[in-house]
Amino acid sequence: MIANLRPAIVSMALFSLLLGLAYPLGVTGLAQALFPAQAGGSLIRNASGEVVGSRWVGQNFKDQAYLRPRPSAAGKDGYDAAGSSGSNLGPLNEDLAARIKTDAEALRAESPAPIPVDAVTTSGSGLDPHVSPANAARQVARIATARKAQPAEVQAVIAANTEGSTFGLLGEPRVNVLAVNLALDARWPRAQR
């Protein structure tokens, strides 16, 4: 064991310098130089340069005129981007059943259309930036009324921010909620609503 003492300690010291400092800092330098937008968190800024969010991090929207995201278990009020969390409730958990029931009733009050699964389930991260196309389509009438717009126009904005499966193979079709809401605000500015 004594013979192993020096290599054990020295190797940990060297590995710490190489892998703990040089590697992450080197990758940071390269990433910031090559892909500054992504490396900085894919932040979206408004006309005056303020950060309004990240392309990838879901936000809560409650206003009638906005596309609403999925329910979220991150933080007390949901969408706490400094405290990601899923609900971790099992399929037989009573709290899960109660939550889904309440949410489903609220959604039915808004529209009689069938409720897509993602509209009443929390995501793994609590920060899901997307909803399913069916979930978005279900909200078109409400958004159009609130914005005094034609439903077809709202649907067109949603369609422009919908992605299919990558290469037709990977992942599910999805609508980026923040992107849609930015586009809605650009098309029908807040003051005119």
Partner 1 sequence: MDWRGWAEIVFTIAVTVAVGWPLGIYMARVWAGERTPLDLLLKPVETGFYAALGVDRNKGQNWLGYAGAVLAFSAAGFVLLYALLRLQGLLPLNPQGFDGLSPHLAFNTAVSFVTNTNWQSYGGETTMSSLSQMLGLTVQNFVSAGAGLAIAAAVARAFAADRGEMLGNFWVDLTRSVLYVLLPVSIVTALALVAAGVPQSLLANVTAKTLEGADQIIALFPVASQEAIKQWGTNGGGLFNVNSAHPLENPTPLTNLIEVVSLNALAFGTVIAFGRVAGARKEARALLAAMVILVGLGAAAIYSSETLTPQPAMIAAGITDAPANMEGKEVRFGAAASSIWAAQTTGASNGSVNSMHASYMPLGGGAAMFLMQLGEILPGGVGSGLYGMVVMALLAVFVAGLMVGRTPEYLGKKVESREIKFAMLAVLILPLAILGFSAIAAVLPVALEGLLNKGPRGLTEILYAYSSAAGNNGSAFAGLTANAPWWNTTLGIAMLLGRFAYMIPVIALAGAIAAKPKLKPTAGTLPSDSPLFVGLLIGIILILGGLQFFPALALGPIVEHFQVLAAVR
Residues 114-153 close enough to bind partner 1 by CB under 8 A: 114-115, 117-118, 120-132
By DSSP bridging, strand 162-163 and strand 43-45 are unpaired
Q: How far is the CB of 167 from partner 1 (least distance, A)?
A: 9
Contact between 137 and 156 under an 8 Å Cβ cutoff? The reply is no
Q: Which C-beta is closer to partner 1: that of 136 or that of 144?
A: 136
The footprint of partner 1 on residues 58-117 (CB under 8 A) is: 58-63, 66, 70, 79-93, 96-97, 100-101, 103-105, 114-115, 117
CA-based nearest residue to 58, from 181, 190, 185: 181
Q: In whole angstroms, how far apart are CA 78 and each of 36, 48, 62, 74?
A: 29, 27, 12, 5
Q: Which C-beta is closer to partner 1: that of 152 or that of 169?
A: 169
Q: Which C-beta is closer to partner 1: that of 72 or that of 152?
A: 72
Among 49, 112, 166, 192, binds partner 1 (CB under 8 A): 166
Q: How far is the CB of 82 from partner 1 (least distance, A)?
A: 4
Q: How far is the CB of 156 from partner 1 (least distance, A)?
A: 20
Q: In whole angstroms, how far apart are CA 56 and each of 79, 106, 140, 142?
A: 12, 27, 22, 25
Stretches 19-27, 138-146, 150-158: which one binds partner 1 (CB under 8 A)? Answer: 19-27
Angle at 49 between CA 58 and CA 146, to 5 degrees: 55
Q: Which C-beta is closer to partner 1: that of 35 or that of 110?
A: 35
- Terminal Cα-to-Cα distance of the chain (whole angstroms): 76
